Amino acid sequence: MALSKINLLNLLPYELEEWMRVHKLEPYRARQIFLWVYKKNIFNFDQMTDLPFSLRKELKNYFYFYLPQVVERKFSPDGAQKFLLELEDKKYIESVFISESTPKENSLCLSTQVGCKFGCSFCATATIGFQRNLSAGEIIGQYLVAQSALTRKNKIDRLVFMGMGEPLDNWQELKKALSVFTSRKELGFSPRRITVSTAGIIPLIPELWALGVNVALSINAPDNKKRAELMPINQKYPLGQLVKTIRGLDISTRQKLTCEYVLLKGINDSLEDAEKLAWLLAKIPIRVNLIALNPFPGSEFSSPEPSQVLAFQEKLRSAGLMAFIRKSAGREILAGCGQLAGRR
């Protein structure tokens, strides 16, 4: 593929409209093209039959379509499916479909980077280091590929940005992708059916919240010392500053604010840790999702006993917090929270 050509999935409709104006073409044609792409799943200009032949020929001189390629697809007994995807430069990412028995609750977990630079010690993605950001087209492409591979029964109802990488470290491309996902003229997801997770890039959290999506904060420890040992990002964005930031959000909206807390045996799972966490989050309308560590090859940590997880939850609930135990789908195929590494 010639380097001068652009993958059309990396453009927003208004960007293609501007390109049309510059090239003395009819700007409204851009909307027609994206209707074919996002509503009809057509990725071939020759099949866009309401476009003039001359325009189709011109477009092929400047643009092409590339979707991530499925090189491996694994199925878990609990209904989860993991897609190993090859990108155009032969790098790999993973996406996970999570099937729910409740209607309209099926989710797709999306990646935003190849690897991750933040080095959380309980996460498999950190073991491969950071390679690059994904483009908006690669983020959206994960959805297009997965939905095409799934049956109608397995329609994707929700999107969760909890795959490989730190979403807010790829902020500009994430915003572009979210604008396509939430536009009624494109993919049409309600912002309240999208959750973006972050390890805590504090300056961007208010901007993310302003987009109307749900926000999940990866906290994982109730004090700075312990959190810094598990999550190096805490050295730049300390826990107290993170909590101060979320207290400043307008949480009177219908958006959901969640604290994600991965429980590590003997590290952050004591009742004293639970008490500290309850004090830290007191009077914040936030849900706490407790996730027993999902093990992966080479991990130095182990999961606490179920009884300890229940005791931790009860301590939080007795302090007035909404605390839930979240079972990670796809653990058997290394598709659970913290298990993705984009390896064949």
Backbone angles phi, psi at 177, to 5 degrees: -65, -45
In 10 A of CB 54, how many CB atoms? Answer: 9
Task: Please give the Cα distance from 227 to 49 (Å, whole number).
Answer: 56
Rounded to a whole number of angstroms, the distance between the first and last alpha carbons of the chain is 25
Residue 89 near residue 335 (C-beta atoms within 8 A): no
Residue 65 near residue 9 (C-beta atoms within 8 A): yes
Residue 38 near residue 186 (C-beta atoms within 8 A): yes
With a CB cutoff of 8 Å and minimum separation 6, the contacts of 137 are 7, 8, 9, 10, 11, 66
Of the residues 15, 17, 94, 120, only one is catalytic, namely 94
Task: Please give the Cα distance from 175 to 195 (Å, whole number).
Answer: 13
Of the residues 109, 123, 259, 337, only one is catalytic, namely 337
Backbone angles phi, psi at 115, to 5 degrees: 80, -165
Task: Please give the Cα distance from 228 to 233 (Å, whole number).
Answer: 7
Residue 220 near residue 233 (C-beta atoms within 8 A): no
Please identify which residue in the block is written with the tokens 């796809």. Answer: 330
Verify whether residue 337 is a known catalytic residue: yes
In 10 A of CB 81, how many CB atoms? Answer: 22
The set of catalytic residues is 94, 337
